[in-house]
Chains A and B, each alone.
Chain A
Amino acid sequence: MKHTIAAIVENKPGVLVRIAGLFSRRGFNIDSLTVGTTDNPDYSRMTITVRADEVVLEQVTKQLNKLVNVIRVSELKPESSVGRELAIIKVNAKKETRSEIMQIVSVFRATIIDVSPKSMIVEVTGSEGKINAIERLLRQFGIMELARTGKVSMVRGSKVIKT
């Protein structure tokens, strides 16, 4: 079962390696990990998606909380949060396939951010499922390169995870 965790951490050197090391040492599986500063430059926010059952998830949360540089850890439940991931995909695009690709891009409300005689770069934002779907559809043209950010997530409504 996949879970999404948001962690507010101190924006200091070595914090990422402490967290990554914790996951590998304790045998927790990370699906994705994103990190960036928050509105307060002293703190960063990490969104971590893990594959774990409830018992392991509890351990992940508790072990993260033990790290001195970790300020706050919250699980973001899918029913009460929004999550987005961004992907940029370089796809083979010849004259005869270009319009078909553009149709797919438009259906997915994605954008084309680079065009060359032999390729296009597609930028798409959405849920993991949506990105998987466009990836599947673009595969027929030949995906040359793909980069995904991993998910960022936030609780719906006015509740916040304070920094």
Chain B
Amino acid sequence: MRKMSGAEAILECLKLEGVEVIFGLPGGVLLPLYDALYDSDIRHILVRHEQAAAHAADGYARATGRVGVCLATSGPGATNLVTGIATAYMDSVPLVAMTGQVPTNLIGKDAFQEADITGITIPITKHSYLVKDAKDLPRVFREAFHIARTGRPGPVLIDLPRDVTVGELDFSYPDLDLPGYNPTIGVHKLQIKKAAQVLMEAKRPVIYAGGGVRYASASKELLGLAEKVKAPVTTTLMGVGCFPEDNPLSLGMLGMHGTKYANYAIQESDLIVAVGARFDDRVTGKIAGFAPSATIVHIDVDPAEIGKNVKVDVPIVGDAKSALEELTEAVEPKPWSAWNDKVSAWKKDHPLSYEKSEDVIKPQMVMETIYELCPEAIIVTEVGQNQMWAAQFFTHKDPHRFISSGGLGTMGYGFPAAIGAQMARPDSTVFDIAGDGSFQMNIQELATAVLNDIPVKVAVMNNGVLGMVRQWQTLFYEKRYSGTTLGNIPDFVKVAEAYGALGLRATRPSEVEPVLKKAIDSDRPTVIDFVIPTDEMVLPMVPAGASLSETLELEG
């Protein structure tokens, strides 16, 4: 046991948990902790807005599977983390968010920069702590990291009153004692047997894989099962990359902007094996019309997800990796079937497509070109049309190389998350696929990227509007473009240069490849302004509230 201050103990805990980098922004109550950080080996990335700290930690976590860590001061610093924490919660991202707090004797007195951040974040954290005594710090940190990374991962918040960080304690890292936290590990053998039986009997099976496959690092096992029984595989947005999209069994993404063939296959299937997915409304469309004749097997580590949105015939609670492994063992190989032929015919007849152009830059073409030039790139996205094009037109093969805010749909997520991903994977090329709307939500982080030599490439699909909402206005609101025209778009090249980043622009299709090459070759943070048509749409599209069978058909 060693005597140390609360602040020193916090850094010791972080070291013991293997933390190498934290994203944060200081404030008055955090002075003791930042003072201790000054002598620490842990790298601190100073962001320009706390929201970016949370997103960067989230991007770091998604790129590595490790726990991301962010730090913000009390009051406004803490509340600025809220969007980032909610984003991580919705997408089950392992995150530890530390917040400063006013001294314990001032809590509840409406002190300067006081906010009840544990109270505020209860609905968006897996768990949270308000530490009231320095001697509790080692236990709290031990538990927080354990809870964040195990079971269904998620964000955990630790609120740190100033006096706790200066208090003294005898440091020892305790064993875990969490009687109320027992994430399921093993898989029920009988349920596996039942699932194997329905899978063997099925004539038209589809595997529907989500983010759970990514967190369990179960891509290999997913491929193993699919190939053994020749079941086509569709992924959710969170599962993009879990199954190689160049595999003949891949159906790409399903749902609102999924491929037609994925949605057709789901609707005609007689068996759906859902793995680490949660039957979100963007995936299922009208729930009553979803996969009307399918038996449903649902594998999920979170028992509460099973039966939440759809009735499940064979529930399997457990880790996706072991469940898929055991299920693969329990089934006999199946040959390529008439169903596979049918699905392949759909793939051939209804591919993802767009109208190519010699005159204007099509965003889909930008995605394809990025893939051609840099198939190993880590693709981080903002939210909206840019996100869907990135999901659709880049050929994804690795879940840790596609990073996107799915559940919460947070505009402004992509750029800071890309910074986090680049910190985690310094040797990878990291793209933030952005819209001009989203990018402007956290554009200030250019300073962070430049200062820390984080060579993220921001590819802005600049259409001058909030494109996804405008698309809905075009389709469903008689082109009444209320509040979606951004109007005064800054010159992104000049903005980049003003921050000391590289700014590039492409206005014609012939310029796309050269500017991308320039960006990829540069070791500086780069912003590329791709001027795209205002009314390019994300297609196919199933309107909200419609069943997956009702793909919108557009004329002309």
Q: Which residues of A contact B (CB under 8 A)?
A: 9-10, 13-14, 17-18, 21, 25, 55, 58-59, 62-63, 65-71
Contact = CB atoms under 8 A, between A and B. Distances in A.
B302 interface: yes
B127 interface: yes
B180 A67 contact: yes
Nearest to A18: B122
Contact of A59 (B119, B130, B307): B307
Nearest to B305: A62
Q: Which of B119, B122, B127 has the most CB of A within 10 A?
A: B122
A58 B307 contact: yes
Interface string B102-145: 00000000000000001100110011001000000000000000
A161 to B, nearest CB: 14
B304 interface: yes
Given A59-B308, A69-B180, A71-B180, A14 B303 contact: no
B181 interface: yes
B47 to A, nearest CB: 29
Nearest to B302: A66
Contacts of A70: 180
**Closest 10 CB pairs between A and B?**
A62-B304, A68-B127, A71-B180, A68-B181, A25-B123, A68-B180, A62-B303, A21-B122, A70-B180, A63-B304
Contacts of A55: 307
Q: How many B residues touch the partner, as a band?
A: 10 to 19
A68 B308 CA distance: 20
A89 B179 CA distance: 40
Contact of A21 (B123, B180, B303): B123
Interface string B463-477: 000000000000000
A55 B304 CA distance: 11
Contacts of B123: 21, 25
B378 to A, nearest CB: 31
A59 B312 CA distance: 13
Contact of B304 (A9, A13, A21, A66): A66
Q: Is chain A's interface secondary structure helix, strand, loop, or mixed overall?
A: helix
Given A17-B122, A25-B123, A68-B178, 17 more contacts: A9-B180, A10-B179, A13-B130, A14-B119, A14-B130, A18-B122, A21-B122, A55-B307, A59-B308, A62-B303, A63-B304, A66-B302, A66-B304, A67-B180, A68-B126, A68-B181, A71-B180
A146 B126 CA distance: 39
12 contacts: A9-B180, A14-B122, A17-B119, A25-B123, A62-B303, A63-B304, A65-B303, A67-B180, A68-B126, A68-B178, A69-B180, A71-B179
A62 B302 CA distance: 9
Contacts of A63: 304
A25 B147 CA distance: 22
Contacts of B307: 55, 58-59
A59 B180 contact: no
A9 B180 CA distance: 8
A93 to B, nearest CB: 43
Interface string B157-192: 000000000000000000000111100000000000
A70 B181 CA distance: 8
B132 to A, nearest CB: 9
Q: Which of B126, B147, B303 has the most CB of A within 10 A?
A: B303
Nearest to A64: B304
B304 A10 contact: no
A13 B159 CA distance: 14
A9 B126 CA distance: 16
